[in-house]
Amino acid sequence: MELYFGSLRSSDVHFNPRKLVTFAIPDIGVRFKAPVSVEDKALEYAALLTLLEFIDINPQLFANRALELYCDDSELIKEVTACRADVQDTAPYLEKVLEYRSKMRFSINWVARSANPARRSEID
């Protein structure tokens, strides 16, 4: 199953802060966005953790499926794959991702920003 995550900046004045985490799971028709208050360096991690939490609390949707997570942030993918944060500020977020990885099996892969449904403007 393909799952996509990312972040957006909202132009909607009702969102404060204007940073959004997003994810999309086309196979089951799920699209999600929520405002967050995190540093820019951690924004993509916040999106990944939001998706992982959704997977964790909805095991019936993901049982016996290979989970392929996609994003367009090559640095995040490198850090998760190497299990080492290159920026000290993101280390706590990486630690949480690795906790989820010990509980569930998933791969994390790159997708072009233009092909990432979590970044599409339709979810604004």
Contact call for residues 48 and 5 (beta carbons, < 8 A): yes
Cα–Cα distance, 66 to 115 (Å, whole number): 20
Q: CB within 8 A of 115, min separation 6: which ones?
A: none
pLDDT of residue 123: 43
Angle between helices 74-82 and 91-103 (to 10 degrees): 60
Structural domains in the chain plus CATH codes? 2-119 (3.30.420.10)
Token pair of 34 as six digits = 């929520």
Whether the model clears a pTM of 0.85, i.e. scores above it, the answer is: yes
pLDDT of residue 91: 92
pLDDT of residue 56: 97
pLDDT of residue 55: 97
**Successive 10-residue mean pLDDT values, the chain, 124 residues:** 90 64 95 90 95 97 94 95 87 95 95 93 47
